[in-house]
Chain A
Amino acid sequence: MTKVLIIDDEVNLRETIAEMLSYTGYHVCIAKDGIEGLTKVVEFQPNIIICDVMMPELDGYGFVEQHKNSKYENVPVVLLTAKVEQKDEEYGLSLGVKAYIRKPFTFKDLQEKISLYANKE
């Protein structure tokens, strides 16, 4: 089973996504911000991280930076974002982000990205 870590500061969204993925056969872990996220990476050791960009304390990019400097940096990250500016995309990709998912997304979008980028067991 693919382990997915979901990091989003919006509780409703976070839980809805988690529920959806869970229902469709994924092992899900959630974190409410970047810092918790980093901890969960260590604990949970996910195959893929779905992370929101706009978060307080440590935003998506901050998380990615730190994550990439950790020993779990091989875990791929896909960013969720409300806005997609080309320059943001470029920035993200330069940090090592695998892909962007634009909000609002369909389940199909999400599943596609996970299939593409998650680490194989």
Chain B
Amino acid sequence: MHQNQKCNFTTEDVELIHFKSSIEASLKFIMEQCGIVLAYASLQFDNHSTQITLGDFNFDLISDYLKSHHKTINKKSISTNVESIKIDSFTTVYILSEIPLHSNDSNYSGIVYFLGYENQILTEEKIKLIEFGKLQIETLANLFYQNNALYKIIQSQEEKFDLFSEDTLKKNNERFIYASEATSDALWDWNIISNEIFVGESYSLLFGYHFENNILPGPFCEGLVHPDDKEDYEDSIDVAIEKGNAKWAHEYRYLKACGTYAYVSDKAIIIRDDKGEAIRMIGAMQDITQEKLLKDELLQSEERFKGAFNHSSLGMALVNYEDKWIEVNDRMCEILGYTREEFKNLTYIDITYKEDLAADLAYEKQMQNGEISSFNLEKRYIHKNKSLVWVHLSVSAVKNSLGEIQHYVAQVIDISERKRMEEENRLLIEEKNRNKALQLIEAKNWYRLLADNTIDLVCLHNLDASFKYVSPSIQSLLGYDPEELIGKYPEDYVHPEDLKKFKKRIGSIIKDKELFSEQVRLRNSEGEYIWFETNASLVYENKIPVSFQSSTRDITQRKKAEQIIEDTLLQERQLNELRTNLVSTISHEFRTPMTTIRTSAELITMYLQNSQFNEALQIEKRVKTITEEIDRIVELMDAVLTISKDDAGKTSFNPIVCNLNEICKDVIETSFNNQKGNRNVDVLFKSNKVEIFADINLIKYTLFNVLSNAFKYSEGCGNVQLNLFTVDDLVQIDVIDNGIGIPKEEQSKLFNTFYRASNSNGIQGTGLGLYIIKMFTKKNSGRVYLESELDKGTKVTLRFPLYKN
């Protein structure tokens, strides 16, 4: 509104009205900008009246304003030349009254403008209250038409005054700023003709765009609409405008400066000129992105829930607060056999098995009290076919934001199979246990039977060893009654000398789980002790020892037998000793008298040599016999003693490394030099320093005997030959004589005790020589061999292993 624009008004005076609230400020502003003084009145419409009565005006305010602007005004009353207006309801109408700028102009007109504070939407038949500031003044009519609002023109006007010219717009923009300060919606004002849009502050805040003077070009704004929504958006505006609508609303996506789209709810009024052409739209955009997203999410989640609900392999149901089934899924129908419709007529109580109902109700109560928000339960439902279905039920409460329970979500798993198997299992286990019990009883019976009928004493003991069960055989074994012993301890009946080992055994059977086997003497009813052997072992039940059982046998006979054996053995040992000693003793005892005899004989010989007896020779001869026989006895005794000693293992045997050559020489020199008839040993050592590991004494003895035999059985047959040589790892000694030899068939027998070859008559011999030679040679790890030819001679071979270090 240009300040210098003139307005012609009627002469009627306009009374001032008083301003109201925020409109006041705006109006004030308009007034200043437009250069016109406007005033409004508060009108009251009562429901039935068609009258508009003007209220009081606040003259003072306007007056002040005018005074400051060097304007004057007269208080006048407004002509109520208003057409009848049918108004439905109580509403506040602001009347704008124009006051002439020029006070000295007698022709001034005041226009009463009905300014609407949009708080009601009236139908088209009624007065539409215009939005604040949207005015177009019909200059030539009595009424001017503005967006279906009826105005009384008090004065005609020459020209339109366009409150919406550029300047006006600018000013109006500022108006918006105020208005938009009060709201978070983005207010916009679209001048359809110039296709410019003025936006409020919130616009920038919401969408992030800043334009100079807050004016956006129309195309730019349109370009911000999401391409998918653009068509609908444009169509709806077109439709609203063409159809002559006064209002428009649409939801679409709007591009924010940050690059993301916001969901927007846009509401606007369409302002038309008197021809009905839309000239302006003023609207407010609300960012409903959050809500939309939430709504979408909610929709999606509902979809998901629905999907899950319907396709779940568990039976699912929604139950309302009154326990009725609201919604069930297919699986639920399957499990319980009812159709969806049937469900809707039932409560869960109707189809719960009465025995399980109590628990169910109790849980529900707890949920209602807020004690719990969910529960699990195994229960039985009644299937449509009247059978019982075991299920695992899971229920949770769904609450609204106030915490009140809206409905329950129930999940149901059919566990009838599991229950059936459990039952089967239980029955099987019971059966098994019964069988086990029976077997156990049977086993016990068998045991009892055996125990009762065995000769041995069979007992069951508690773990502290006291008697639990004693077999009847105790009567015959120890003379007690079985009952006497129950609860008593076996150690009370054990011989004091055996008590220690008995107790030790008991200890280890319990502690170390060892088997018990012990011989003890037990006291019978007459106080006598009898030898028993007891075997005991632990008895387990479920791998835990619960008792132990013992089996006790009378071993008196066995003990006796053992004793006899021991005695016999002792006897034999003693006999052996005796025998060995005997030989030794005999030889002992015999020697002394033999010495006496011999010495006496020698003495006699001595006497005889110095005597003149006629029979001296004869006597000498006989005395010689005595001596010879004594020698014979002695030789025999020695041989027997030797054998006997060896038999008893008493031959001393001390092997050392010895030089065989030396030993041979030694023996020959000591005993065989210059034998009767000038006989000697012809020695041939093929090897010297031959060493063997042997007992020297035994070797000497052996050699002595071999050589002695050689001489004895070859009397008058020249010298005896001794050859010594080594063969591989052995040393061999050959003693060769040219004597009487040995008959072939008797050669092997010669090594036997007391064997004398048939051709040895007349030659004194014990018959033990070769036996001893063999014995001693063997002892020295050697072998003896015999080669002989009757009347030709004999070769005795000794072989010994060479000593190797």
Contact = CB atoms under 8 A, between A and B. Distances in A.
B603 A19 contact: yes
A82 B600 CA distance: 17
Nearest to B697: A86
Interface string B560-596: 0000000000000000000000001001110111111
Interface string A7-31: 0001011001101100110000000
A72 to B, nearest CB: 27
Nearest to B589: A82
Given A82-B592, A83-B584, A104 B606 contact: no
A67 B599 CA distance: 27
Contacts of B596: 10, 12-13, 16
Interface string B593-609: 11111111011001100
Interface string A71-98: 0000000001011011100000000000
- Dominant secondary structure of chain B at its interface with chain A: helix
B603 A23 contact: yes
**In the complex, which of the residues A10, A23, A82, A106 has the most CB atoms of chain B within 10 Å of its own CB atom?**
A82
Contacts of A16: 596, 599-600, 603
A16 B598 CA distance: 10
Contacts of B697: 86
B154 to A, nearest CB: 173
Contacts of A82: 587-589, 591-592
A104 B598 contact: yes
A53 B489 CA distance: 65
A104 B602 CA distance: 12
Contacts of A87: 652
Interface string A85-121: 1110000000000000001111100000000000000
B606 A103 contact: no
B606 A23 contact: yes
B599 A104 contact: yes
A10 B593 CA distance: 9
**In the complex, which of the residues B591, B594, B607, B697 has the most CB atoms of chain A within 10 Å of its own CB atom?**
B591
Contacts of B592: 10, 13, 54, 82, 103
A86 B597 CA distance: 26
Nearest to A12: B596
Contacts of A24: 606
A20 B589 CA distance: 22
A80 B595 CA distance: 10
30 contacts: A10-B592, A10-B596, A12-B593, A12-B596, A12-B600, A13-B592, A13-B596, A13-B599, A16-B596, A16-B599, A16-B603, A20-B599, A20-B603, A23-B603, A24-B606, A82-B587, A82-B588, A83-B584, A83-B587, A83-B588, A83-B591, A87-B652, A103-B595, A104-B591, A104-B594, A104-B595, A105-B599, A106-B602, A107-B599, A107-B602
Interface of B: 584, 587-589, 591-600, 602-603, 606-607, 630, 634, 652, 697
